[in-house]
Structures are given as C-alpha cells and as structure tokens.
C-alpha cells in the first residue's frame, strides 16, 4: 500500500499544470491564490525549484496597482463558473478582480528558511520580495482607508471562507435584483448539499457585477461595496505575512521594506485586540458598514492565532477549540451554534489548511499541546478519509472535491513536523 507521503506527492503531481497547480481537477481548473502559496510548501519537500515556480507564476499576474488576484484563468475551461467573461477584468491573461488571504509572505519566508539550495533561494526570494511588499502596501492603502490598522474584505470569496456564517448578516445588505441569469457549475462537480446556497451565489454575483460596473478600479471598490467585513483570520494572515516579510527583507538586506512591513504588523497587531470577544473566548469579525462586531463564533476568530496574539488569548483559543468537542478539530464553526452545519463548506467542516495555520500559531504562542493535538488529528483524519477538500468534524466524512492539492501539501508539512 502506498504511504501517505507517496499519495500526497502523486496528487500534487497529477494536479500540476507545469507552471501552476490546480486545486483539484473539475471543480477548480485554474490557479487560485492562497491555494498556490500553500501548495508550494508541499512541493518544496520533493521539488524545491517547482515550489518557487508556483509562487512566481502567481505573481507574474499581479495587477499594476499591487493586488494579486484570487484566480488566474490560465486556460479556458467551461467547467467553472464564473469564468473570465463574467469578471471581464481586461488583463493580458484573464484574472478575477478580487484578492484572497495573503499567505504569500509567510510561504516565501518558509520556503527561503528551509530551502536546501541556498543560492537559488536567495535569488528567487529577492525577486519576489518587492512584489509581495507591493501587495501588502496595496492592502493597507485600499482596504484600510481610515488607517485603523485592519483591512476589510469586500467579497466573501476574498476570505476564502465563502459561505461562512460570519457573512450572513452583512449579506442581507447585498441585493440580488438585476443580476444576469446564470448556471452554476460547482454543483455539477460536488454535492449541492455541501456547497453554498443559491441565495449566497446570487449575492456573490451581484458584488462581482457591481465591481465590474466600476471598471475594477481597486481604489474605489472598498467604499463602493455594501459588504465590508474586517475578518480576524484574514487580518492575522496579513499581519503574519508582514512580520515574516520584514524578517526576510532584513535577511536580504532591504532595511526600508523591513521597516515598512514591521510597522504594518505592529499596527495591525494592536488593532486586532478591538476584535476580541471575552464571552466567546475568540476574536470576531466586524461589520465595517454597521460598525459592530458580528456574533458568529467561526474559525476566522481562531485563525487569529496565526499572528502574534497575547499568550492569554492563545490559551483561550486553545480552550475554545477543545470546547467544540468534535472528533476532529478544528470545526470551521462552533458546533454549539444552532447555525452550524457539519457538511456545508465553511459552516462547520474541517479544513486542513486552517488546521495547519492554527497549529503553527498556537505552537509559537506556547500552546504546544493544543498544536500537537491538531496536527495528530489532522493526519488521523487523512488516514481514515483520504485527501478530500474538507471533512465533517464529527464523522470524518470526506466532502467537496477529491484528491485535493492543498490537503496533500499540508499532509507533507504535518508529516515533516511529526518527524
Ligand atoms: C468557488 O468557486 O467556489 C471559489 O471558492 C471562489 O473562489
């Protein structure tokens, strides 16, 4: 029987399209932003050169304003909706017009730190450094217009947690009237009961059409969006990426970039505390339009541990995860909440990438036991249920797409930590 490592590598190879990797055949036939950066961390275990290329390809499609789009449509594929004609972003190679969690800075530092080929790593990291820094600058310039230190997402797809319960209330403000008729393709590849609903898709598309009507001018979209949410998980990723990029810039001798990113991280870190909920024992999203925290104990608030939160907060987050009491941690929403749905995408299921980032953050904050529990349970889940997109936290049932790229990449990372 093939080992976990062998299967993981086989999946990464079979989803490899030469210069980028698709998340899974059929359901997601293009290059996705945070998928790719986390995929590179898996690829580095067997092909360092290929790992660098994955991130380089993504950044070759960075917009002049600094934004790195959430999808790059390298080749036409009718099996996915909404495709390039709906986005209509007018780029040399078509891309979407929104962004995704900026894990690149973190991935870049990790690739660099652990690379065996030091010379190549230095040259390739140096070439990517300014591009990642431009993306970070873009975030704080366009998504934090009041300079509070935290950025907002303007579309749920930006968080990657498409149908999280976090968005239910702010989504009530997004209309659905006037959108063009459409046919979903995702529900032809995956069980519709495990995917977002039609009511959510209508709103995803309304936002896309609205931003398209503004010619994808990224300087205007934040203020023009009825959906502006400050997500602690998204901000934690950005803050961590800024801190990591600052370290990397220092190592590569770029003091100005190091200082700039250090200051983004420090300001974000301090502002993050405004999202803490003592009652929930975790951070919460803030609806920036309504000016209020969103009562929704999702994994976004646990993922906050990925940046350097105070030790007392990390301890509460570890306790909150234990309190979930699911067979497999970390549920993407608290099972104690009546809105929890263990099979529907981001309303309950476990995702390995999120487990990886939470475990990494908790270990750094001194919560080694909790981190080890999450890592061990993640591997148990794969041994029992294979390499799916996500899983039911109670039963371990594999859900969504199969032979999933970033799941395989995270398995290689978890196995390495296990030694
Ligand atoms: C999808 O199509 O489901 C993606 O999550 C959007 O990026």
User: Per residue in 258-277, pLDDT tens?
Assistant: 999 999 999 999 999 999 99
User: Per residue in 118-150, pLDDT tens?
Assistant: 999 999 999 999 999 999 999 999 999 999 999
Residue 383 CA to residue 380 CA, distance in Å, equals: 5
Query: Nearest 5°: phi and psi at 196?
Result: -60, 160
Ligand 1: centre distance to CA 157 (Å): 6
Ligand 1: centre distance to CA 260 (Å): 32
Which one of 82, 157, 184, 204 would you pick to mutate in the ligand 1 pocket, going by the greatest count of ligand atoms within 8 A of its CB? Answer: 157
Q: In ligand 1, which atom is closest to the CA atom of 32? A: 7
DSSP assignment of 193-248 equals: GGS--HHHHHHHHHHHHHHHHTTT-TTTHHHH-S--EE-HHHHHHHHHHHHHHHHH
pLDDT of residue 418: 79
CB of 157 within 6 A of ligand 1: the answer is yes
Residue 26 CA to residue 87 CA, distance in Å, equals: 20
pLDDT of residue 373: 97
Indicate the domain borders of the chain.
4-418
Evaluate if residue 168 carries a pLDDT over 80: yes
CB of 186 within 6 A of ligand 1: the answer is yes
Residue 418 CA to residue 359 CA, distance in Å, equals: 13
Q: In ligand 1, which atom is closest to the CA atom of 81? A: 2
Ligand 1: centre distance to CA 189 (Å): 12
* Nearest-CA residue for atom 6 of ligand 1: 157
**Region 4-418: CATH code:** 1.50.10.10
* Nearest-CA residue for atom 7 of ligand 1: 157
CB of 20 within 6 A of ligand 1: the answer is no
User: Per residue in 221-239, pLDDT tens?
Assistant: 999 999 999 999 999 999 9
Average the pLDDT over 167-172 and give the result: 98
287 beta partners: 229, 292
Query: Nearest 5°: phi and psi at 106?
Result: -65, -50
Residue 211 CA to residue 217 CA, distance in Å, equals: 8
Ligand 1: centre distance to CA 185 (Å): 11
Average the pLDDT over 149-173 and give the result: 98
């Amino acid at each position: 029987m093939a080992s976990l490592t062998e299967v993981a590598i086989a999946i990464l190879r079979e989803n490899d399209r030469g210069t980028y990797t698709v998340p899974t055949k059929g359901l997601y036939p293009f290059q996705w932003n945070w998928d790719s950066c986390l995929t590179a961390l898996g690829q580095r275990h067997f092909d360092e050169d290929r790992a660098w290329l994955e991130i380089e390809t993504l950044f070759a499609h960075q917009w002049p304003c600094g934004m790195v789009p959430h999808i790059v449509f390298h080749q036409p594929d009718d099996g996915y909706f909404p495709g390039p004609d709906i986005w209509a972003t007018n780029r040399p190679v078509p891309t979407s017009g929104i962004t995704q969690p900026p894990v690149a800075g973190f991935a870049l530092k990790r690739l660099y730190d652990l690379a065996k080929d030091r010379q190549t790593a230095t040259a390739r990291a140096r070439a990517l450094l300014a591009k990642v820094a431009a993306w970070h600058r873009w975030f704080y310039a366009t998504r934090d217009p009041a300079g509070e230190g935290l950025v907002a997402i303007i579309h749920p797809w930006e968080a990657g947690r498409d149908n999280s319960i976090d968005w239910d209330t702010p989504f009530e403000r997004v209309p659905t009237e006037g959108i063009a008729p459409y046919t979903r393709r995702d529900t032809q590849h995956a069980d519709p009961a495990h995917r977002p609903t039609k009511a959510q898709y209508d709103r995803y598309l309304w936002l896309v059409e609205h931003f398209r009507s503004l010619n994808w001018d990224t300087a205007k979209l934040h203020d023009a969006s009825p959906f502006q949410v400050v997500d602690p998980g998204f901000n934690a990723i950005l803050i961590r990426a800024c801190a990591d990029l600052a370290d990397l810039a220092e190592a590569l001798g770029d003091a100005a970039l190091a200082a700039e990113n250090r200051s983004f991280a420090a300001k974000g870190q301090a502002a993050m505390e405004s999202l803490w909920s003592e009652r929930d024992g975790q951070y919460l999203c803030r609806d920036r339009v309504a000016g209020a925290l969103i009562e929704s104990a999702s994994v976004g608030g646990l993922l906050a541990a990925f940046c350097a939160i105070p030790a007392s907060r990390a301890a509460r987050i570890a306790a909150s995860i234990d309190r979930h009491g699911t067979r497999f941690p970390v549920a993407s929403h608290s099972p104690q909440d009546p809105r929890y749905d263990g099979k529907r995408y981001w309303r309950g299921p476990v995702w390995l990438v999120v487990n990886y980032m939470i475990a990494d953050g908790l270990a750094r904050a001194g919560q080694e036991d909790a981190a080890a529990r999450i890592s061990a349970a993640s591997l148990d889940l794969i041994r029992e249920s294979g390499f799916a997109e996500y899983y039911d936290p109670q039963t371990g049932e594999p859900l969504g797409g199969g032979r999933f790229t970033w799941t395989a990449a995270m398995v290689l990372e978890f196995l390495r930590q296990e030694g």
